[in-house]
Every structure is written in C-alpha cells, then in structure tokens.
Amino acid sequence: MQVALFVPCYVDQFYPDVAMATLELLESLGCQVEFPEAQTCCGQPMANTGCWDDARPLAKRFIEIFKDFEAVVCPSGSCTAMVTHHYHDLVGHDDAYESLRKKTYELTEFLVDILKVESLPARFPHKVGLHNSCHGLRELRLGSSSERMLPAFSKARQLLAMVEGVELVELNRNDECCGFGGTFAVSEEAVSCMMGNDRIHDHQQAGAEVITAGDMSCLMHLDGLIRRQKLPVRVMHLAEILMGRTKPA
C-alpha cells in the first residue's frame, strides 16, 4: 500500500524521532511510505482559536497535497480529527475532500483496521501507562470512553499487547483529559497544569515507568510538568514503543 505520512507541526519541529519511528513502523509492515515535503500545518491551532479565515487556506492546501495518495497516516489523533471531522466547516462540500477524508487515518486506527496487524517483533520490558487522548476517544473512537455504555475496547492497548515485555498498568481514570487542549494550556494555564498533574499522579500511583499516547501534544504537556518537578517517569509516543525504542533516561 502506498501511504503518505502526515506529520504534525510540533512533531516535525520538536519530536522528529516520533516521525521516524512511525515511518520505520509502517515500512516494516510492508507499506511504501512517502513524506510530501510540501505539507504544512493542518490548520488546527487557528481553527481552535476561531481564526477560520486563517485556517481555510491551510485546509485547501492540505487537500491538494494529499488527495492522490492511497492512504494518509498520521501519528496524532487531534490532527487526524481536524482533517476528518472539521474540514467540512472550512471547505464545504468538496469531492476531493470527501475522498481524502475517507482515507485519512490515525496511526493505531490504520494498523488495526486497515493493515489488521496481529503481531509485532518489538520488545519493551517496562511498566507502561496508556494515556487516551480526547480527540482519539471522542472523535475518532479509537477506544471506549466511560460516558458511553459500550463494550470496552482500545486499539492502542491491542497493539501494545503485541509488544514483548510490556506491562500495562491499570489507571483509576482511563480516559480523563490531560489538560493540554492546545491554546487552552495558554489561556487557562492554572487549570491546565492541575489537570496534567492529576494525570501524572494517576500513572505514578499505578507504577508506570513510561507514559505513552498516540498524541505527542498530550505527552509534551505532561513531559513539561514531569521535567519541572523532576518526577521519576518518562513519556514516549506509541510508535516508539511499537518499534521497541529504548526507554529515555
């Protein structure tokens, strides 16, 4: 399968290792991956703050760049949700967008639903806490959320269970927000930090050595709080663990 890798801005700028792990993971599973170098921001920060006129040309550019690929894969639930759930507010009815929307996937969604991965050769002998991002749960339905009376499932947990040595710890609140919320972390700093510290404490009480998620934005927020308090826990994107990367010091 020919796959276009859609890399979020903050991953490209601050966490390129996450993009490389995603690329290597997809290639190890037989995908022909291309990184369109013309790609820019998907427009989510602008749209979230109400700057629709600034987000609209970015949405149109994204569609033009990615429309001809067989599939588009992104290691971020929030950026994927922006494309698949919110571009219609920016571009209206557009045949090229409708086609693109149906073939744009978050990484775990693509691995489980499209490639139907059943095994991974990775090894990661550590206690891992899984943070479920809000966009992944509430918009992409990558896992079950506590407010819906449905059978429990998690695409991320399904994949982590294939990694040798991973011990998934049990949290008290599996689907609580980390408090990042993009610009919310700036406009409501105190609330955002309190929510983030609550999430970190939940992982610590469960014995997690590493906090993982499908969204590096959530992990970036938590990592900032962890580093400032010098806490004995680290963050890693899900793609890095699925590739068996070494736990950071």
Q: What is the CATH number of the domain that holds 199?
A: 3.40.50
Q: Which of 114, 140, 169 is the last residue of a domain?
A: 114
Cα(103)–Cα(71) distance, integer angstroms? 5
pLDDT at 151: 81
Q: For residue 8, what are the domain limits?
A: 2-114
Domain-located, residue 122:
no
* Shared domain check, 102 and 13: yes
Domain-located, residue 249:
no
pLDDT at 90: 94
* Shared domain check, 132 and 107: no
Domain-located, residue 153:
yes
pLDDT at 19: 97
pLDDT at 249: 61
Domain-located, residue 21:
yes
How many structural domains compose the chain? 2
Encoded tokens for 37? 């170098």
pLDDT at 185: 80
* Shared domain check, 174 and 73: no
Encoded tokens for 247? 């736990």
* Residue 151 CB contacts under 8 Å (≥ 6 apart), including other chains: 144
Distance set, CA 59 to CA 122, 140, 150, 216 (Å): 36, 19, 34, 21
* Shared domain check, 141 and 108: no
- Which residues does the chain have with pLDDT short of 50? none
Q: Report CA dihedral (111, 145, 17, 189) to the nearest 10 degrees.
A: 160
* Residue 237 CB contacts under 8 Å (≥ 6 apart), including other chains: 15, 18, 21, 75, 212, 213, 214, 216, 219
Is residue 106 within 8 Å of 76, Cβ to Cβ?
yes
* Shared domain check, 223 and 160: yes
Phi and psi at residue 2, in whole multiples of 5°?
-85, 120
pLDDT at 144: 84
* Shared domain check, 88 and 164: no
The helix/strand/coil state of 73 is strand
